[in-house]
């Protein structure tokens, strides 16, 4: 094992993975936020009851209350946190399988 410039390779890979994860999470967050807002705007006149987002009444959107936007942000943040959690578990399981396979191949 070499102890030189190559010892920091893992750091850059981890940093890239974290930045990629943050980018994907932000992209998912922005897309779901826009889709949810457009859905509510489209169906605000048709539906008198609750829409796509739980606990958000359509009349909040018609009044342009900040309550709707707070609820949308919280709702989408929950999805982003769930996706990050699932992604980290997939990466962990994948790396474990890779280590096991590498051990089997070298033996």
Domain ranges of the chain: 10-106
**pLDDT confidence of residue 49:** 47
**pLDDT confidence of residue 15:** 75
Taking residues 1-7, report their average pLDDT.
49
C-alpha distance from residue 72 to each of 27, 53, 75, 85 (Å)? 15, 7, 5, 20
Q: What is the per-residue pLDDT across 30-82, written as a single tens digit (0 to 9) for each? A: 787 777 777 777 766 665 544 445 444 555 555 666 666 777 777 777 777 77
Q: What is the mean pLDDT of the chain?
A: 69
Taking residues 5-21, report their average pLDDT.
69
The answer to whether residue 2 scores a pLDDT higher than 60 is no
**pLDDT confidence of residue 9:** 61
Which pLDDT band, with edges at 50, 70 and 90, does 28 fall under? confident
Pairwise CA distance, residues 26 & 30, whole Å: 6
The DSSP line for the chain is: ---SGGGGHHHHHHHHHHHHHHHHHHHHHHHHHHHHHHHHHHHTTT-SS--SSTT--HHHHHTT-HHHHHHHHHHHHHHHHHHHHHHHHHHHHHHHHHHHHHHHHH-
């Amino acid at each position: 094992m070499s102890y030189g410039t190559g010892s920091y390779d893992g750091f850059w890979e981890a940093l890239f993975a974290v930045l990629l994860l943050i980018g994907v999470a932000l992209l998912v967050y922005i897309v779901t936020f826009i889709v949810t807002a457009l859905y509510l705007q489209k169906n605000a006149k048709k539906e008198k009851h609750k829409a796509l987002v739980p606990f958000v009444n359509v009349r909040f959107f018609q009044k342009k209350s900040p309550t709707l936007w707070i609820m949308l942000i919280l709702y989408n943040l929950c999805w982003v946190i769930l996706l990050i959690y699932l992604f980290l578990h997939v990466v962990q399981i994948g790396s474990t399988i890779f280590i096991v396979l590498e051990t089997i191949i070298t033996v």
